[in-house]
Amino acid sequence: MAKLYFNYASMNAGKSTLLLQASYNYRERGMHTVILTAALDRRAGAGRVASRIGLHADAIPFSDGDDLFALIAELHGKHPVACVFVDEAQFLAPEQVWQLARLADRCGIPVMTYGLRTDFQGKLFPGSRELLAIADELREVRTICFCGRKATMVARLDEEGKIVREGAQVDVGGNEKYVPFCRRHWEDRINCVEVT
């Protein structure tokens, strides 16, 4: 049975690296995969997934309102799709998560999604909330806080490197803008407590 997977983590855990490696493994065996990524994330260029360690691949950008079930079903009709990979899955709309679930349930295509669970304020992204609710399998990808504990939270930085406490949920960036923390040190930083 095909499943919908949600691989989630804080920033800098290697989610995109894992996605690219898994897609490569399918392709190396002669199977066709489709990689989707959020259109609003242009850090690697439009329609591109890239990892911090230099791996990259072309992808189909998705936006709110795109029917991902129809898109993949059409591609599958032309050339059988062995697996669908979604980078930046936190930016999926809830209805798109259901469309991906339908691909697994009705077309028998596994769907591997990779994304953040929470934003810089510790709130769930809408796409992540829906994935946590309906995905068949949840997999935590781990990274570490500066203290060595598992990082589950992320803090947003301004241009001067100071913690941002308010603002829009979506502000695409990488290492220059986000830092992973364990819950304790995230709370300390957000509340301006001296970090030990």
**Where residue 81 falls among pLDDT bands split at 50, 70, 90?**
very high
What CATH number did the domain enclosing 80 receive? 3.40.50.300
Q: What is the pLDDT of residue 191?
A: 76
Residue 188 lies in a domain: no
**pTM of the model as a whole:** 0.84
Residue 152 lies in a domain: no
Residue 148 lies in a domain: no
Q: What is the pLDDT of residue 96?
A: 98
pLDDT tens string 29-39: 999 999 999 88
Active site residue ranges: 88
Q: 33 - beta bridge partners?
A: 83
Residue 122 lies in a domain: yes
Q: How many domains does the chain have?
A: 1
Residue 16 lies in a domain: yes
103, 72 contact by CB (below 8 A): yes
Range of the domain at 27: 4-142
Instruction: Select from 157, 160, 153, 136 the least CA-distant residue to 187.
Output: 153
19, 112 contact by CB (below 8 A): yes
